[in-house]
């Protein structure tokens, strides 16, 4: 009777604290390809999932920031290695989700991998470039050192689904922040596959937490959350919503990176802007000769 | 009624053993199933708000560390009196719980506003002679404690020397004078639910005002099924004697969600009469912060964070 195998379909879940839970609300939504054909069901995260993700990010942040910059760089490079090993899967997912050509999908995966490598290299150079030794009028050494801001909540851009996500997450974590990121609602599948890559890359659980669902639903809860230290609004397209979230963030003294004024060219050299947006400068005085 | 029952069964170890072993056995699967079923209850906003305030007012805010200092105890007392300085409508906790030598400092800090509970009787192991335990208790009472948390001699209990345990509780109760006596079983060491039920009756017979699950120093500490058995014991004891005994789960209760599950269970098993700090307490330290965070969340409409409560 057995004619061929039954399909083994993947359940796309959230990525919180290094684990893959379903949404606590039990909700899912149908994800379609560019032509509207059904691809899979993804979890529709609720505000309580966002709360759990912030808890996980907070728990992981101290350890991640405490790791040496060299070690963080190695871990991030490892993500690039793992991504390279699964590129075929990412290409297929991007192709169907975004409805682009195989060549463009492949180019996006290339850029995403290169982006990880690029940021991995920055890990132990941030302090030299953003920090300084300051001349002061007294017998003191005076240093300014960049420190991670803490827990960063981010809204990833809608497109490109993989490269946009990586370009948002990598600069946040490279300096020792942990992050909660809301993936592209239209193309969430590459994000969850990226979570599988992160889970196998020696990245401590909780440093990156990925939620899928409606940014308009979860975003305001993340913005107003008192335990979120910074907010990256890159993926918010509506100016009104962005302002509303920035106001909510201000209530609890949260640093905000506003959305770009025009759609950025994600394949261009990203520069240091995204790293420096999520570090705080600590200045230390130290007496000379002691 | 209690006195008559005690006079009946506490005449010899054999009689006490017959009484305790004659208690109906605990259905382990049933107890765990009921505790699990009750903890699935969904508590919605207004009830949750009330439950959180009730839970705060039931907390015995505890510090029982070798590294406790007078300063730490004073800080704890300040927090006990005013758990959330940003919101004066927050109720104060029921009591502070400290070691006997810190009771005077705690009493000085809280005045008559709160109860001061002191652990005594060679807490947490209980391994000392009766004379030392009595002296320990008297010292704590003299220092101003009006609640004494004693531990039972688990060695004697497990060896079946029930009368020794009984006599010890009676002697400590006498040494307490007017102070309330809480009897700690350390249920994590008692091995079976049957033993937990027997220990509950033994303590109630001997005159305990409260029965308490654990010291917080042994894992597992308080669990829902164990607390269920304690609650059933005090409920049945009330039906039998008309006397209301309190219950205090301690250790391992860290989240508001957990605390609310306990409150649901108290209400279901013992009824509303037990939903008061006089008859139900939480022995906890980190629980209070989580209750305050939840309270802030409901008040402000956004999630709060650990930066908005004290570090203890």
The pLDDT tens digits for B23-78 are 999 999 999 999 999 999 989 989 999 999 999 999 999 999 999 999 999 999 99
Q: Which residues on chain B are in Cβ contact (under 8 Å) with A221?
A: 302-303
Candidates B79, B248, B258, B290; catalytic one: B248
pLDDT for residue B121: 94
Domains and their CATH numbers in chain A: 28-287 (3.40.605.10)
Residue B149 annotated to the active site: yes
CB distance A51–B308 less than 8 Å? no
Question: Rounded mean pLDDT of B14-22?
Answer: 95
pLDDT for residue A3: 76
The whole-angstrom distance between A48's CA and the closest CA on chain B is: 10
Label residues B134-150 b or e (16+ Cβ within 10 Å = b): bbbbbbbbebbbbbbbb
Q: Report whether B196 contacts B190 (CB < 8 A).
A: yes
CB distance A54–B303 less than 8 Å? yes
pLDDT for residue A13: 96
Candidates B60, B212, B258, B290; catalytic one: B212
* B83-120 confidence digits (pLDDT tens): 999 999 999 999 999 999 999 999 999 999 999 999 99
Tell whether the torsion through CA atoms of B158, B161, B164 and B167 is positive or negative.
positive
The whole-angstrom distance between B281's CA and the closest CA on chain A is: 27
Residue B1 has pLDDT above 70, yes or no: no
Residue B6 has pLDDT above 90, yes or no: no
Domains and their CATH numbers in chain B: 2-301 (3.20.20.70)
Q: Chain A residue with minimal CA distance to B300?
A: A224
pLDDT for residue A9: 87
C-alpha distance from residue A85 to each of A78, A90, A160, A161, B301 (Å) = 11, 10, 20, 19, 45
Q: Model confidence at B312, in pLDDT bands (50, 70, 90)?
A: confident
Average per-residue pLDDT for chain B: 95
Nearest to B148 by CA among B157, B138, B160, B158: B138
Residue B212 annotated to the active site: yes
Sheet holding B59-62, edge to edge: B246-248, B210-212, B180-184, B147-151, B115-119, B95-99, B59-62, B282-284
pLDDT for residue B5: 84
> Which ipTM value was assigned to this complex?
0.86
Q: What's the CA angle centered on B286, arms B283 and B287, to 5 degrees? A: 65
Q: What is the mean pLDDT of each run of 10 residues along chain A (290 residues)?
A: 81 96 96 92 96 97 97 97 96 94 96 97 96 94 96 95 97 98 95 96 97 95 97 94 95 94 91 96 90
């Amino acid at each position: 009777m057995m004619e061929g195998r039954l399909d083994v379909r993947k359940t796309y879940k959230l990525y919180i604290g290094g684990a893959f839970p379903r949404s606590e609300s039990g909700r899912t939504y149908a994800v379609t390809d560019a032509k509207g054909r059904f691809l899979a069901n993804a979890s529709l995260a609720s505000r309580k999932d966002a709360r759990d993700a912030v808890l996980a990010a907070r728990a992981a942040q101290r350890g991640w920031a405490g790791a040496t910059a060299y070690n963080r760089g190695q871990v991030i490079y490892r993500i690039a290695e793992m991504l390279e090993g699964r590129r075929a899967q990412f290409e297929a997912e991007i192709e169907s989700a975004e409805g682009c050509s195989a060549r463009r999908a492949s180019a996006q995966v290339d850029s995403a991998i290169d982006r990880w490598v690029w940021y991995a290299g920055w890990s132990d150079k941030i302090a030299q470039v953003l920090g300084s030794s300051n001349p002061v009028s007294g017998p003191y050494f005076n240093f300014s050192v960049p420190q991670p801001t803490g827990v960063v909540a981010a809204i990833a851009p809608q497109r490109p689904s993989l490269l946009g996500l990586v370009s948002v997450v990598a600069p946040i974590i490279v300096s020792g922040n942990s992050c909660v990121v809301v993936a592209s609602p239209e193309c969430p599948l590459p994000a969850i596959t990226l979570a599988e890559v992160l889970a196998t890359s020696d990245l401590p659980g909780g440093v990156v937490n990925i939620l899928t669902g409606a940014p308009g639903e979860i975003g305001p809860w993340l913005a107003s959350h008192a335990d979120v230290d910074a907010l990256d609004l890159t993926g918010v397209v509506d100016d009104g919503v962005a302002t509303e979230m920035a106001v909510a963030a201000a209530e609890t003294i949260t640093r905000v990176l506003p959305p770009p004024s025009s759609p950025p060219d994600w394949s261009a050299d990203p520069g240091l802007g995204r790293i420096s947006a999520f570090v705080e400068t600590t200045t230390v005085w130290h007496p000379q000769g002691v | 009624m209690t006195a008559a029952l005690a006079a009946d069964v506490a005449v010899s170890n054999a009689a006490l053993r017959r009484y305790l072993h004659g208690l109906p056995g605990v259905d382990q699967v049933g107890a765990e199933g009921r505790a699990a079923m009750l903890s699935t209850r969904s508590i919605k906003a207004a009830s949750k708000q009330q439950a959180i305030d009730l839970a705060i007012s039931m907390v015995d805010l505890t510090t029982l560390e070798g590294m406790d200092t007078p300063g730490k105890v004073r800080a704890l007392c300040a927090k006990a009196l005013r758990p959330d300085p940003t919101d004066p409508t927050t109720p104060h906790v029921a009591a502070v719980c400290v070691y006997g030598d810190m009771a005077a400092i705690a009493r000085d800090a809280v005045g008559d506003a709160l109860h001061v509970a002191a652990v005594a009787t060679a807490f947490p192991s209980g391994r000392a002679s009766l004379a030392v335990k009595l002296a320990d208790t008297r010292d704590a009472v003299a220092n101003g404690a009006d609640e004494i948390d004693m531990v039972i001699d688990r060695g004697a209990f497990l060896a079946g020397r029930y009368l020794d345990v009984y006599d010890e509780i009676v002697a400590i109760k006498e040494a307490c004078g007017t102070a309330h006596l809480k009897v700690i079983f350390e249920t994590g060491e008692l091995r079976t639910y049957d033993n937990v039920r027997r220990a509950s009756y033994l303590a109630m017979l001997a005159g305990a005002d409260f029965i308490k699950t654990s010291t917080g120093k042994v894992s597992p500490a308080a669990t829902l099924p164990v607390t269920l058995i304690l609650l059933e014991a005090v409920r049945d004891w009330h039906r039998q004697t008309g006397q209301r005994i309190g219950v205090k789960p301690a250790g391992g209760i860290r989240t508001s969600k957990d605390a609310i599950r306990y409150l649901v269970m108290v209400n279901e098993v013992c009824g509303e009469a037990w939903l008061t700090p006089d008859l139900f307490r939480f022995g906890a330290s980190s629980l209070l912060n989580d209750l305050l965070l939840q309270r802030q969340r409901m008040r402000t409409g956004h999630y709060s964070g650990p930066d908005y409560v004290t570090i203890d």
